[in-house]
């Protein structure tokens, strides 16, 4: 890897056109590309952290974040360019879920001291943040959560269990929702608490998924002591914060996914050509539909960024974008596996697998896309109620 000193400083005085910005970013990403991901998990983590530090130190981290916290505070057009170039360069993305979800929440609701303490290290990848909201009995119905935080002087004592927590096995910090009100207080008795993942009483156990990987975990809290100053927002007001944070979770990936799938679709079209399937009218029809959809994703991603810039929040429309993207990626991988026929089911470890089994791996991985960050059914409910103004889901308890 070349050092950051060899590149031009990211923050410039004077005007720079969007195309100059694109060229500068493209050159930076190419010159500093960290190379292939190491196979060993610990080495891969160190490699990814080193890359995030390189980005941060050179002023290329946090395209939408304010400058005072180490971000770039880019204009709308430059955020679009950033996501496009980032996907094109095939460099590693953020670690775990902190940047896209907890970051915007702390920026909006954190105290100056919390922002100072948490945001820089999160953006630089020094501290990995993982989301710990879901529980065995509280997924779609998150207000039913039961993990308790009992006040004891300047500390909370936390007990309970979380589950499906993405990359919690590498986390330094967990951003959680805990019950500080009465057991049946639902939304009115939830607080947003930041917990040290290495504190005594925290146990993180990785769970294996159908791809063979173990990218999410279950977490147990056993009399974990957490300073009250690590609560974001007021006690029992966490639900208001979590609505922001879930909106950001759904919106965070929109433009990034659109840029990523632009490239993946080009690769799928190349694959269809290589396999002699590109003359087949049915294949062409499907590819044309994916082409239209990838373009819609781009415009939706742009709309999401523009909403965040103008209103400070992604809003309920982030559900449309999430639903569209997750359905798209499932259909794209289903089609790729179909296109490959028998060869399509050879997995990553099979020496005869086509392109190292990436398509069947994607097929398996994207089964989870319409569950994580709110299931497809819940996204549809949100769109029905908050975008279309239809009556509330009768299955949900009154707010």
Active site (catalytic) residues: 249
Scanning the chain, the segments in alpha helix (DSSP H) are: 18-32, 41-57, 76-89, 103-109, 112-124, 238-252, 254-274, 281-311, 318-340, 358-365, 376-382
Beta-carbon contacts of residue 14 (< 8 Å; ≥ 6 apart): none
187 vs 278, beta carbon nearer ligand FAD = 187
165 binds ligand FAD (CB under 6 A): yes
Running DSSP on this structure, what letter comes out for residue 135?
A: B
Q: How many residues does the chain have?
A: 399
Q: Check: CB of residue 223 under 8 Å from CB of residue 213.
A: no
The residue at minimum Cβ distance from ligand FAD is 139
Residue of the chain from 51, 118, 216, 239 that contacts ligand FAD (CB under 6 A): 216
Residue of the chain from 164, 261, 290, 324 that contacts ligand FAD (CB under 6 A): 164
Question: Which tokens is 118 given?
Answer: 């948490």
Q: Which stretch binds ligand FAD (CB under 6 A): 29-37, 112-120, 348-356, 372-380?
A: 372-380
236 binds ligand FAD (CB under 6 A): no
318 binds ligand FAD (CB under 6 A): no
34 binds ligand FAD (CB under 6 A): no
Angle at which helices 318-340 and 358-365 pack, to 10 degrees?
Answer: 140
Tell the smallest beta-carbon distance from residue 153 to ligand FAD (Å): 28
Tell the smallest beta-carbon distance from residue 254 to ligand FAD (Å): 17
273 vs 392, beta carbon nearer ligand FAD = 392
**Residue 154: count of CB within 10 angstroms of its CB:** 9
Residue of the chain from 269, 372, 383, 384 that contacts ligand FAD (CB under 6 A): 372
How distant, in Å, are the alpha carbons of 138, 174, 285, 346, 381 from that of 163?
9, 12, 41, 30, 23
Tell me the C-alpha distance between 186 and 182, whole Å: 8
Tell the smallest beta-carbon distance from residue 247 to ligand FAD (Å): 14
57 vs 196, beta carbon nearer ligand FAD = 196
Residue of the chain from 149, 319, 374, 379 that contacts ligand FAD (CB under 6 A): 374
371 binds ligand FAD (CB under 6 A): yes
378 binds ligand FAD (CB under 6 A): yes
Residue of the chain from 34, 121, 139, 315 that contacts ligand FAD (CB under 6 A): 139
Tell the smallest beta-carbon distance from residue 98 to ligand FAD (Å): 10
Burial track 221-243 (b if 16+ CB lie within 10 A, e otherwise): beebbbeeebbbbebbbbbebbe
Residue with the two structure tokens 């001291």 = 113
Residues 98-137 that bind ligand FAD (CB under 6 A): 131-134
Q: Which residue ranges make up the site for ligand FAD (CB under 6 A)?
A: 97, 131-134, 139-140, 164-166, 216, 368, 371-372, 374-375, 377-378, 381, 393, 395-396
């Amino acid at each position: 890897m070349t050092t950051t000193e060899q590149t031009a400083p990211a923050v410039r005085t004077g005007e720079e056109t969007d195309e100059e910005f694109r060229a500068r970013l493209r050159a930076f990403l190419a010159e500093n590309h960290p190379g292939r991901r190491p196979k060993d998990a610990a080495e891969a983590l160190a490699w990814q952290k080193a890359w995030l530090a390189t980005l941060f130190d050179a002023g290329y981290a946090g395209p939408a974040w304010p400058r005072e916290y180490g971000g770039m505070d880019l204009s709308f057009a430059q955020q679009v360019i950033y996501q496009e170039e980032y996907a094109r360069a095939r460099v590693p993305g953020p670690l775990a879920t902190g940047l896209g979800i907890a970051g915007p929440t702390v920026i909006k609701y954190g105290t100056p001291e919390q922002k100072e303490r948490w945001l820089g290290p999160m953006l630089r990848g020094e501290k990995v943040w993982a989301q710990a909201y879901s529980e065995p009995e509280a997924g779609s119905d998150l207000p039913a959560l039961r993990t308790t935080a009992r006040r004891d002087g300047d500390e909370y004592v936390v007990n309970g269990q979380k589950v499906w927590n993405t990359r919690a096995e590498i986390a330094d910090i967990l951003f959680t929702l805990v019950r500080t009100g009465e057991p049946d207080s639902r939304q009115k008795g939830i607080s947003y608490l930041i917990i040290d993942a290495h504190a005594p009483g925290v146990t993180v156990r990785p769970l294996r998924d159908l791809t063979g990987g173990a990218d999410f975990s279950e977490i147990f809290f056993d009399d974990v002591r957490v300073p009250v100053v690590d609560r974001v927002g007021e006690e029992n007001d966490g639900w208001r914060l979590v609505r922001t944070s879930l909106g950001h979770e759904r919106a965070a990936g929109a433009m990034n996914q659109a840029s990523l799938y632009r490239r993946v679709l080009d690769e799928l079209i190349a694959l269809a050509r290589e396999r002699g399937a590109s003359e087949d009218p049915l294949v062409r029809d499907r590819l044309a539909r994916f082409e239209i959809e990838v373009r819609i994703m781009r415009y939706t991603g742009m709309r999401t960024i523009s909403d965040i810039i103008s209103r400070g929040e992604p809003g309920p429309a982030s559900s449309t974008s999430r639903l569209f993207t997750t359905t798209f990626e499932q259909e794209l991988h289903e089609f790729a596996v179909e296109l490959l026929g028998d060869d399509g089911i050879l997995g990553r470890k099979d020496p005869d697998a086509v392109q190292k089994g990436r398509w069947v791996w994607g097929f398996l991985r994207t089964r989870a896309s319409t569950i994580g960050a709110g299931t497809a059914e819940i996204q549809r409910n949100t769109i029905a109620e908050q975008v279309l103004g239809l009556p509330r889901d009768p299955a949900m308890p009154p707010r």
